[in-house]
Amino acid sequence: MYNRIIRKTRYRSLEASERMAGIVFAIPSLIGFLLFIAGPILFVFAMSVIRINLMDNSFTYVGFRYFQNLIEDGDFRKAFWNTFTYLVIYVPLTLLLGLGMALILNAKLYFRGIIRTFFIIPYVTTYIATLVVWNVFLHPTQGPVNQLLMSWGLNPPQYMIDIHWALPVLAVIGSWKDVGFHCLLFLAALQGVPRDLHEAASIDGASPLRRFWHVTFPLISPTSFFLLLITIIGGLQAFYQMALLTKGGPSFSTTTLTYLIYRTAFEYNNFTYASAVGVVLFAITVVLVAVNWIGQKKWVFYQ
């Protein structure tokens, strides 16, 4: 009886020490989360209802006045639709290209390691470098794309200054930049699919398409769901292409919500209005993530 009590005491002591060690190791991450994520989010929520005058450093509570102004603001409505247009192009293109590239790399190919390296290079390259390359590549007169089209007798568009082409081109550039990361994660998921399941389906007479849809995709659906979420969030946060290539133009056609926040805050010094737009963007992100989180029960299969 006495030995049993000693063992229980030692077990509880060991459990308490492990719990304390876990808390100690989590403290740095918790501090970073509070200082750089939770704190700024709360600060933006507070700034969205407080007008700041930088001339006399005064603060005035304005309530939800700026949120009401957003509804009547044509620039906000245009940026809102531009953001969703970008999202509609960027998300499916990135996911489909990433999955297609992963399927190619998962096959038995020569120099597969070299090809994989080429696929990942755009993702690890800085945004500024890639955008400089694309700016030269798509130059209206000197770029190789338009020179090739003109050599065929065609009249190519001026991509970055055409209101109909600018936003889709920026979405394609964003997809090209991020597709390597999606390819690697899809490839890792595909390599985890048991080959005996494919062999059994093949023996039963299933075509390659049916094997992919009924065997492969259900097993990689958790990875697909994760990539869907981060792609949606990344699409809503698109900024670099607009800031470095088009400055939100032409005619406001590439101004997204993130770039509107930047211009409103740092060019017009209206931090309250920019914070209100930021709160709306945060709410849109939460809603889209929540909808997909609820909907994933119908198509995501966890082993």
Does 213 fall in a domain?
A: yes
Does 143 fall in a domain?
A: yes
Residues 74, 35 share a domain: no
Q: Are 166 and 253 in contact (CB under 8 A)?
A: yes
Residues 80, 19 share a domain: no
Burial of 112 (0-12, 13-18, 19+ CB in 10 A): middle
Residues 254, 148 share a domain: yes
Residues 86, 32 share a domain: no
| pLDDT, the chain, mean | 87
- pLDDT tens sequence across 108-166: 777 777 777 788 888 888 888 888 889 888 888 888 888 888 888 888 888 888 899 99
Length of the chain: 303
Confidence of residue 82 (pLDDT cuts 50, 70, 90): very high
Does 256 fall in a domain?
A: yes
Residue 57's region, left for phi above 0, alpha for psi from -120 to 50, else beta, is left
Query: What's the pLDDT at 139?
Result: 86
pTM of the model: 0.88
Residues 289, 164 share a domain: yes
What is the CATH number for 119? 1.10.3720.10
Cα(108)–Cα(130) distance, integer angstroms: 30
Residues 246, 186 share a domain: yes
Confidence of residue 19 (pLDDT cuts 50, 70, 90): confident
Give how many domains the chain has, as a whole number.
2
Does 239 fall in a domain?
A: yes
Helices (H), the chain: 2-33, 39-47, 65-72, 74-106, 112-124, 127-137, 144-151, 166-191, 195-203, 208-211, 217-236, 240-241, 257-266, 271-295
Q: What's the gap between Cα 225 and its chain centre? A: 13
Residues 122, 265 share a domain: yes
Does 303 fall in a domain?
A: no
Does 154 fall in a domain?
A: yes
Cα(62)–Cα(49) distance, integer angstroms: 5
Residues 279, 190 share a domain: yes
Residue 126's region, left for phi above 0, alpha for psi from -120 to 50, else beta, is beta
Does 57 fall in a domain?
A: no
Does 60 fall in a domain?
A: no
Residues 92, 193 share a domain: yes
Residues 132, 14 share a domain: no
Confidence of residue 4 (pLDDT cuts 50, 70, 90): low
- pLDDT tens sequence across 233-264: 999 999 999 998 999 988 899 999 999 999 99
The closest of 98, 101, 78 to 90, measured between CA atoms, is: 98
Residues 149, 10 share a domain: no
Enclosing domain of residue 29: 2-47
Residues 95, 36 share a domain: no
